[in-house]
Amino acid sequence: MIFQGLFVLGWNTLILHHSDPRITIVYILSAVAAGFFWVNRRVLYRWSSTIFCLFLVGFFSFGLEAVGGNLRFPAFPFFYVLFLGCALAAPLRGVLVMGAAILAAIVFFGLNEIRTGVLALPKMNAIMITHLMVFTMLMIVALTTKWAERLRRAAQDGVEARSVDLEEKSRALLASEERLTLATRQLSIWDWDVKSDALYLSPSFARMLGYSEEELREAMAGTTANLLHPDELEDYRQNLQAHFEDPSKPFVGEYRYLTKSGETRWFLSLGESEVDESGKAVRFTGSSKDVTERRQLEDELRHSQKMEAIGKVTGGVAHDFNNLLAVVLGNFELIKEASDEEEVQRLADAGIKATMRGADLTRNMLSFARKSRLKPKILNLNAVLQETQSWFLKGVPSNVRVKIGFAPDLNVIRADPSMTQTALLNILFNACDAMPEGGTLWVSASNEVVAEELPAAGAEKLSPGRYVRLMVADDGHGISAEHLEQIIEPFFTTKPVGAGSGLGLSMVQGFMKQSGGALVISSSPNHGTAVSLYFPVVEGEAASIAPAPRAQVMPRGRARILVVEDQREVLTVLVQTLSKEGYEVLQAENGDIAVEILASGTKVDLVLSDIAMPGKVQGTDLAARLREDQPELPVILMSGFAQTDGKAQELGAARLTKPVTKELLLRAIEQALEGAAG
């Protein structure tokens, strides 16, 4: 369309002007050039436009020479339009170069009379001056417009750059504010004007303690000291006083605060003071951070380390102590058998009973340290309660009422029957002791579903899942919060001297840990105590209570038994006990001697050996050799350590824990001999 219009314009000009047809050529070429620049406007932004404009200067000069003296050059209007378009679109430097070249051409042609092969070009007249002025004005307009456009673009680029920079800074500021918000969620800011006693507390402090801001002001009554745990008040006041006496030292302390619900939470407080000219504090500012979780983790770590240390000590002590008890028990049983006098029998029975109490004490210590050897079986706690109540009720004080609840369709558990009853009895007797003036004792077993993790005794956690809960509750004097934290510590007790060892609940907690469950205690002063044992449910198992083994007279044979024991007193008791029962007894004081006896070809029917002995050959080493050389020879291993020996189990050897009664010892020997014979 553009080229068609320009062609029509050029054709009309050719018809209207009957002068030299070269004028028409000038029209047509000017129109074609203008159309080219209109269609290809982007070319004007390149340096090539400057070169093309210089070509136009030459084209302009050719036009002047071609038309001679006819200064009514009709191509000038088209040329002005073409120049203005080029000037507005081309780079500023290109406009300057192009304009300067054209002005130089006009002045050159206007001031000089130039003769060519066709006509002579006259000197500048009024028309030429007019064209020069018009072109100069156009160039000024073009340059001014270009300069203004350049300034506008520079300003726009600057605004855009600043906008981008501001946007980036806004995003960074927003992210920083979000990080600051996250970092201060567990922080409480305070600002106390000491002179006016005006105190500001950030809203987060009320939120962390479970109060609204109005409730917090009422609870504080003007000072945060009213929110502290009573045991923290003295230390807090001394620390604050020391800081005000020397404000150059920062205020640092960790204190327990009471929440709205009565729970305790730990806060780390850091503060500093502004002082006046005299050095006296006038403004006290700082922050408090909730560090309850950190304190709980530290308590768990300390408890774990303490348990590990106690376990190591207990294991070593139990071994030696059990060996001593084995000697005492064996001798009392021998004394009882050696005399028919009633007084001797009574004294021997008292000694045996005391020895077994000592063994129970050791077992409780080992259970607390989680080193006791358990024999778990499938149990129904309803049956455990039924079996326990038949004889427990006989020992309950007359002023204590006992209520027992049995749950229908109670799930089964897997636990050691003897230890389960022992744990239950410990809790029952503790409950009775907590009600010296009388009261009510509730005992129940129920199915429970734990949806969320529960805190348990000993900094343990009860994981979500299905459990059978055995609960004992009383309405006695309750337990203070301070004692509740210590209640399962070994040897800790609130009972009078001689009334308890302080190992009962520690044993229960260790037993529950071994059983995969947890001990949960809830109590408050003057509101009684509830102690719950949570046992994991065992799916798809039939429940049964393994009856306690009943005493029976074991048939005695002429079997030959090799007894291996490094403790001379224990060895003597074992030899005497077995000899009186009709067994032929050989003895060895360590494993090395036992190996020599067996290597000499001496035939024996059973080996009864201690596990830990001096020398190269331990009890398990001896059992391993016999399994290779004489796999049919039965072996019974004994130890004062209560933890299970995995190697002894792998060897298939029976295992007894010292001290062992004569009845249990003879039963184990008879069963081993029968197994070898069958």
Give yes or no for residue 213 having a pLDDT over 80: yes
pLDDT at 477: 81
Label the pairing between strands 120-121 and 114-115: antiparallel
Return the percentage of the chain with pLDDT > 90, whole number.
11
pLDDT at 42: 47
Lowest model confidence (mean pLDDT) among 44-58, 92-106, 126-140: 44-58
Please check whether residue 651 is in contact with residue 670, taking contact to mean a CB–CB distance below 8 angstroms: no
pLDDT at 321: 78
What average pLDDT does the segment 50-65 reach? 48
pLDDT confidence of 284, banded at 50, 70, 90? Answer: very high
| Phi, psi for residue 474 in degrees, rounded to 5 | -135, 165
Lowest model confidence (mean pLDDT) among 56-70, 233-247, 531-545: 56-70
| Adjacent-strand bridge partners of 472 | 443, 531
pLDDT at 604: 92
The string of DSSP letters for 295-315 reads HHHHHHHHHHHHHHHHHHHHH
| Phi, psi for residue 466 in degrees, rounded to 5 | -100, 130
Give yes or no for residue 676 having a pLDDT over 80: no
Please check whether residue 298 is in contact with residue 305, taking contact to mean a CB–CB distance below 8 angstroms: no
pLDDT at 371: 55
Token representation of residue 160: 């855009």
What average pLDDT does the segment 74-99 reach? 57
Amino acid (1-letter code) at residue 535: F
439: alpha, beta or left, given left = phi > 0 and alpha = psi -120 to 50?
left
Token representation of residue 4: 């068609």
Distance CA(635)–CA(501), nearest Å, equals 37
Please check whether residue 402 is in contact with residue 443, taking contact to mean a CB–CB distance below 8 angstroms: yes
pLDDT digits (tens, 9 = 90+) for 156-168: 777 777 777 788 8
pLDDT at 510: 78
**Taking all residues of the chain, what is their mean pLDDT, rounded to a whole number?**
74
Distance CA(606)–CA(675), nearest Å, equals 11
pLDDT confidence of 53, banded at 50, 70, 90? Answer: low
Q: Regarding predicted confidence, which is higher, 79 or 629?
A: 629
pLDDT at 217: 86
pLDDT digits (tens, 9 = 90+) for 631-675: 888 899 888 765 545 555 566 677 888 888 888 888 888 888 887
pLDDT digits (tens, 9 = 90+) for 170-205: 787 777 776 666 656 667 888 888 888 888 888 888
Give yes or no for residue 70 having a pLDDT over 60: no
pLDDT digits (tens, 9 = 90+) for 528-580: 888 999 999 987 654 444 443 433 333 445 789 999 998 888 888 899 889 98
Neighbouring C-alpha atoms within 13 Å toward the C-beta of 365: 23
pTM of the predicted protein model? 0.45
pLDDT at 588: 92
Give yes or no for residue 132 having a pLDDT over 50: yes
pLDDT confidence of 242, banded at 50, 70, 90? Answer: very high
Give yes or no for residue 245 having a pLDDT over 60: yes
Amino acid (1-letter code) at residue 551: A
pLDDT at 139: 65
Distance CA(138)–CA(84), nearest Å, equals 7
C-alpha 618, offset from chain centre: 44
Helix-, strand-, coil-residue percentages of the chain, each rounded to 5: 55, 20, 25
